[in-house]
Amino acid sequence: MEHSHIKRLFGKYLSGKAGQEEQHAVEQWYDRLEKRAPVQLSPEREKALEAAIWQRLEPRLVKRRRPFRRYAYISAAAASVALIITAGILFTMRNKSKTAAAPQFQDYVTGIGERKRLTLQDGTIIALNSATRLRIYTHNANARRVEITDGEAFFKVQHDPAHPFIIRSGSVTTRVLGTSFNIRAYKRLEELYVSVQEGKVQVLDSLRTLGVLGKQQKLVFNQRLKTWSIQGFDGEAAAWQQGKLLFKNTSFREMALLMQQNYGIYITAADDRVRQQKFTASVPVSLSAIKAAEVLASIHQFKIKQRRDTITLYR
C-alpha cells in the first residue's frame, strides 16, 4: 500500500470521514495489532526506545527550504510513517491503560450473621465467617494470593508445590502448600489467630518468621505489641463452621465484638467487674440476639438489661 494512501486512510479514519470499507480495513489492522504478544519493556527502556524513534523521524519531518520533488516525497513518506507509528503508540497506550485499570482481584464480603463458602478454580475451599472482607488476587503466575482485610476465614488448600498459597492479614503473612487452617483477623481485635487443623503452615510478619505450625497448633499474634505465642488447641477454631459461637477464656472486649458480628447487638458492661470477666461458653448462632445474650449471661451469673439493639450486663 502506498504511503500517501496510508496517510489519507488514517487521516480519514481519525477524523471520522472514512467509508465503511475503509473503517473495516483500519479496524482489521488494529485487531491484528491487538493479537500480537506485547513486548515487556522497563520504563527506562521504553523511554529510550521512544526517544530513538523520534530522533530518527524528526530530521525527515523538518520542512526543507528547497522544495525538490524528491524531498517532498521523502517528507510525505516520513509523515505517513509517523502517522502509523503515532496510531500504534496511541493504540498501545490505550490498551495499556485498559490493562492497568482492569481489576486484578475479586472481593467477597459477608454481612452480620452471614456465612459464605467459595470454591476456587484449583479446588481450594474458603469459608467466610460473619462480617468478613476477603480479597482474592486473580493474576499471579507464581503463587495463589488472598488477603483478609477484616474478619475470619477457614481454608482447605489444594496441594500445589509449584504455586504456594499465601494469605495476607494485616502485618501477618501465612504461607502454605496444602493444608486446612483458620485465620481470625478482625481489625477491632487486638489479637490475630492462625489455627491449623491439618498439614503445616509458615507464619511471618514483615521482619521475620513467627513460627511453623503443625496439626492442632495455633499462633496468637498481638497486633499492637507485635508479640506472639504458639499454643495447642482442640478444634475451637472450626466451631463457627458447625453453627456455634465458641468462647474459651475470652476477654469481654473480644466477646462483645463477636456477639456484635454474629447477632448485630452491642454488649456493654455496667462496671469493671463485668469488663474484667473471662467468658467460656458455646452459643448456637441460630438463636435470636436476645436469647444468645441470655445464654451468655446465665452461664456467668449476670443479669441483662436491653435497650433497642444494646444489651448491658450487670450483677
Same domain for 275 and 255, yes or no, is yes
Residue that is last in its domain, among 237, 264, 294 = 237
Q: What are phi and psi of 26, to 5 degrees?
A: -65, -40
| Residue 152: closest CA among 135, 127, 176 | 127
**Same domain for 286 and 194:** no
- Looking at the structure, do residues 97 and 112 belong to the same domain, yes or no? no
Q: Measured between alpha carbons, how far is 314 from 274 in angstroms, rounded to an integer?
A: 7
Q: Report pLDDT digits (tens) over 144-191.
A: 999 999 999 999 999 988 889 999 999 999 999 789 999 999 999 999
Q: Is the domain of 120 the same as that of 225?
A: yes
Q: What is the grid cell recorded at 27?
A: 479496524
* E strand residue ranges, the chain: 105-109, 116-119, 125-128, 133-137, 144-156, 165-169, 172-176, 180-185, 191-198, 201-204, 209-213, 217-222, 227-232, 244-250, 266-269, 279-284, 303-307, 310-314
Among residues 237, 260, 289, which one ends one of the domains?
Answer: 237
The count of structural domains within the chain is: 3
As a whole number of angstroms, the distance between CA 81 and CA 116 comes to 56
Select from 237, 271, 300 the last residue of a domain.
237
Q: 64 and 92: one domain?
A: yes
Between 142 and 212, where is the model more confident? Answer: 212
Taking only the tens place, the pLDDT of each residue in 252-283 is: 999 999 999 999 999 999 999 999 999 999 99
The whole-model pTM stands at: 0.65
**Which structural domain range is residue 57 located in?**
3-101
Using alpha carbons only, give the angle 96, 34, 121 rounded to the nearest 5 degrees: 75
SS3 of residue 66 by DSSP:
coil
Query: Same domain, yes or no, for 88 and 169?
Result: no
pLDDT score at 237: 78
